[in-house]
Amino acid sequence: MFLGVDTGGTFTDFVYYGDRELRFHKLLSTPDDPSRAIEQGVRELGLDSKQLHLVHGSTVATNAILERKGVRTLFVTHRGLEDLLSIGRQTRPELYELCPDAIEPLVQRDDCFGVSGRLNAGGEIVQDVSPDDVTHLAKRVAAENYEAVAVCLLFSFLNPEHEDAIATSLPDDLFISLSHQVLAEFREYERAATTFLNAYVGPLVQCYLKRLQKNLRPKHLFVMHSAGGVMQADLAGEQAVRLVLSGPAGGLVAAQAVGKQLGEESLLTFDMGGTSTDVALIQGAPAMTTEGQIAGMPVSLPMLDIHTIGAGGGSLAWMDEAGLPQVGPESAGAMPGPACYGQGGDAPAVTDANLLLGRIPAHALLAGSLPLNLQATRKVFERYGEKLGLSSEAAAEAVLAIAEEHMAGALRVVSVQKGFDPADFSLLCFGGAGGLHACALADKLSMRRIIVPVASGAFSALGMLAGRQQSEFSRSRQLSISNAGTTAILAQQFEALQSEAEKQMQGLTLQYERRVDMRYQGQGFHLTIDVTDDDLSGLVSRFESAHLQAYGHSLERDVEIMTVRLTAFVDRATPALPQLQASDKAAEIAGSSDVYGVGRVPHYRRSDLRPGCEYMGPALVLEDTATLWLAEEWNMRVSEHGHLLLKKPDKSQKHSPPSTQRGAK
C-alpha cells in the first residue's frame, strides 16, 4: 500500500494506491505541527499506517528558514572570515533602488567562530588548526547551549582533514554540518550558506520525522527532496537543506510521467495551490539548477529548476501607498484562510474572487467537505470595491486579472527569458486552483494546448509515489578539455563518486547518471551537461549548443570542466494509472450555475467523464480536490487514463466533433 502526502501552506494532499485503486484526499494543513494533518488524513482514509509505504513532501525545512525559526546555530570558519555569511557576494537584488531594504542575516556576528589553519588551492595543509582553538570551540558550544554547528573551511572539498578534526572534538549529540559532506564544491560563500542552512534546520527536520515515524510507524518512510527523488527519512534528517523544494518537486516528477504517457515532451507546468504558484519548463525531463535561493541565501545543491511566486488561492488583495490594487504575496493561509472559509478572514483573496464570479459554484464543498460562505465573500468585496470605485463583481475581476498577470509573468520567466516560445509547449496545470486559471493563462501566452491531469488537485502527492529513490553526489575539480589526461581524470572522479554512493546507499542495486558543470575559460558561470560517453569532443559540442540556446552566442575559447556530478538511483516500478473504459455517450450534466459575464453554464462531474466524447466551453468540471473553468472557445476531451486535454481550435478550420456538448450561454 502506497501513500503520497504533500504538505502545503494551506492544504495537505493525499494520494493512496493499493489493490489497483487510486484514492485522493485533501485536508486543511496544521502549520503548528504538520504531522497532525497527516495522522488525521490516514485515519479518515481508513488506512493501517503500519502497512504503508509512505512518501512525504515536507515544508518543515522551508518554513523554518522563511520564518527564521531554525535552531541556534554556531558558524565555524577561518579566523578573519567570520563575516562571510553577512557580506555574501554584495550583490544588489534591485540594482537601481536607492534605498533598498536591508536583509537581516540569518546568523548574527556573535554566533560566528574563527579558527586558525589553512589549506592551499591544491588541498595541501599550510597550517594546522590550533588545538587551543578546538578546545575553546568545544567549551563555547557547551556553555552557550548551541543545538547545531556548521563548519566551513577553505578548500575543504579537496581535503576534509581539518573539518573532520573539528567535528571529532564536539559532543556526539550535537547536530554537526560539515561543508565537505553537504556540498563538496568550490565557491566559498555558496558552500558556507548551504552548510549553515543545513545545520539551522537539521534538528527540526530530524525531530519532525522521528515524531512522524513514532506516531504512524509506517512500513517505510521516505521524503521527497528538491532534485525530484526520494530518500530515507534518517538520511533526510541529516541532509535537511535538500528538502527546500520537497513539495513542488513532486509535481514535476508527476508532470514528467504524464508527459511521457501522452507523448508530450515539451511542457510548461503551472502548479497553483493555496499559498503560492510554482512554474517550470520540461523538455523530456525537468530542467535542473544549482543556483537556488531561499530567504536571500543561496542553496547550491542540485534541484529542479522551479520558479515560485506568492500568488495562490489564498493570496490577498490590498492597496499600495499610491492607492493601486495589488494581489499577494501575503496569503490568508490555512487559518483563517480566505473569507469564504468562514473562519474569520476579513480581506478578499483570489479564491473569494473565483467564488463571487461563479467560477467556483456556491454549493461546492472545498476539499470535499468544507462548505463555502458566499455571504462573507460578498461583504469583503463590497468593502474592497468601494475603495476602487467598482462593484464587488468588477473588483473581483480586477483581482483575478492582477493575479493572472503575475502568473503569466512567472511562466515567461521560465520560457521566454530562456529562449523558448510558450506557443511550442503544452500548459500542464495542477494544484487545487490551477484549473481555474488555465485557459486565461494559455490565452495570454498564445498557447493552444492544456493538460489537466488526473488528481490535479493533489498532483504533487501523486508525484511522491512516482519519485525514484536517488541521491546526488558532486566534487569540484577544474579540468581543461584540451589537456590530454582529462579523460582519465574524469573517469577517476566518477569512480570516486560511485564509491561514495555505494557506501551511502548500501544494499541497493544502483544505476547512475553522470553530468559535469562546464564553462568557457574565464567565465564566472557554468552550464550542466549530461555525460553520455567518454568522447570529450561530443561533450564540448553539447556544451556549445546549450550555451547558444541559453545566451544566443558561442565563444572562441577553451572549454573547462569545473564540477563532476553523479546521480545514483534505484530503478523500480511505480504505481500505474488505470485505463478508463471508453464511451461514445457524453456525461450527463450534473447541474448549472451563473458565471459573471458569461451566463448560465453546465457542470460536469469529472468522475463521470469518459474517453470518446468532446465538450465545449463554457462549462465547469467539478471534483472534490479541484475545479476546472473551461472557458468559451476551448474544447475538452478525455485521454484513456483520465487526463483532460483542452485545445483551442484553429478558427480557420471549421468542423464539429461528432459527440460534442456545448455549454449554455
3-state secondary structure string across 116-156: CCEECCCCCEEECCCHHHHHHHHHHHHHCCCCEEEECCCCC
pLDDT at 39 over 90: yes
* Percent of residues, the chain, with pLDDT higher than 70: 97
Q: Express each pLDDT in 512-551 by its tens digit.
A: 999 999 999 999 889 999 998 878 888 999 999 999 988 8
pLDDT at 655 over 50: no
Window from 82-96, 121-135, 246-260, 447-461 with minimum mean pLDDT? 82-96
Residues 34 and 59 sit within 8 Å (Cβ to Cβ)? yes
Q: Exposed (0-12), middle (13-18) or buried (19+): which is 382, by Cβ within 10 Å?
A: middle
Residues 628 and 451 sit within 8 Å (Cβ to Cβ)? no
pLDDT at 367 over 70: no
What is the arithmetic mean of pLDDT over 7-17?
86
What is the rounded CA–CA span in Å between residue 665 and residue 474? 58
Q: Supply the pLDDT for residue 653.
A: 52
What is the arithmetic mean of pLDDT over 232-254?
91
Q: Exposed (0-12), middle (13-18) or buried (19+): which is 288, by Cβ within 10 Å?
A: middle
Q: Supply the pLDDT for residue 457.
A: 86
Residues 108 and 185 sit within 8 Å (Cβ to Cβ)? no
pLDDT at 660 over 60: no
Output the CA torsion 236→242→244→247 (10° steps).
Answer: -60
What is the rounded CA–CA span in Å between residue 508 and residue 511? 10
What is the arithmetic mean of pLDDT over 29-55?
91
What is the rounded CA–CA span in Å between residue 191 and residue 298? 9
Q: Express each pLDDT in 255-277 by its tens digit.
A: 999 999 999 999 999 999 887 88
In three-state secondary structure terms, 15 is strand
Q: Express each pLDDT in 194-213 by its tens digit.
A: 999 999 999 999 999 999 99
Q: Express each pLDDT in 44-79 by its tens digit.
A: 999 999 999 999 998 888 888 888 899 999 999 999
Residues 300 and 198 sit within 8 Å (Cβ to Cβ)? no
Of 180, 177, 185, which is closest to residue 290 (Cα–Cα)?
185
Q: Supply the pLDDT for residue 375.
A: 93
Omega within 30 of 0 (cis) for the link into 329:
yes
Q: From 2.30.33, 3.40.5, 3.40.50, 3.40.1620, which CATH number describes the 66-208 domain?
A: 3.40.50
What is the rounded CA–CA span in Å between residue 279 and residue 404? 13
Rounded to 5 degrees, what are φ and ψ at 555?
A: -125, 150
Q: Express each pLDDT in 590-624 by its tens digit.
A: 999 999 999 999 999 999 999 988 999 899 999 88
The pairing of strands 426-430 and 2-7 is unpaired
Q: Supply the pLDDT for residue 484.
A: 87
Q: Express each pLDDT in 477-486 by its tens digit.
A: 999 998 989 9
Cell of 278: 510554482
Rounded to 5 degrees, what are φ and ψ at 331?
A: -120, 150
pLDDT at 474 over 50: yes
Q: Express each pLDDT in 99-145 by its tens digit.
A: 887 778 889 999 999 999 999 999 999 999 999 999 999 999 999 98
pLDDT at 510 over 90: yes
Residues 610 and 580 sit within 8 Å (Cβ to Cβ)? yes
Q: Hey, which residues does 222 pair with through a beta bridge?
A: 55, 232
Residues 74 and 149 sit within 8 Å (Cβ to Cβ)? yes
3-state secondary structure string across 318-346: EECCCCCEEEEEEECCCCCCCHHHCCCCC
- 665 or 380, greater pLDDT: 380
What is the rounded CA–CA span in Å between residue 245 and residue 242? 8
Residues 156 and 125 sit within 8 Å (Cβ to Cβ)? no
H helix intervals, 450-608: 459-466, 486-504, 536-551
Of 334, 273, 107, which is closest to residue 200 (Cα–Cα)?
107
What is the rounded CA–CA span in Å between residue 3 and residue 212? 14
Q: Supply the pLDDT for residue 236.
A: 94
Q: Exposed (0-12), middle (13-18) or buried (19+): which is 377, by Cβ within 10 Å?
A: buried
The domains of the chain are located at 66-208, 315-406, 473-569
Q: Express each pLDDT in 386-403 by its tens digit.
A: 999 999 999 999 999 999
Q: Supply the pLDDT for residue 657.
A: 46
Rounded to 5 degrees, what are φ and ψ at 630?
A: -90, 100
Confidence of residue 652 (pLDDT cuts 50, 70, 90): low
- Give the mean pLDDT of the chain: 90
Q: Express each pLDDT in 330-347 by its tens digit.
A: 888 767 889 998 888 889
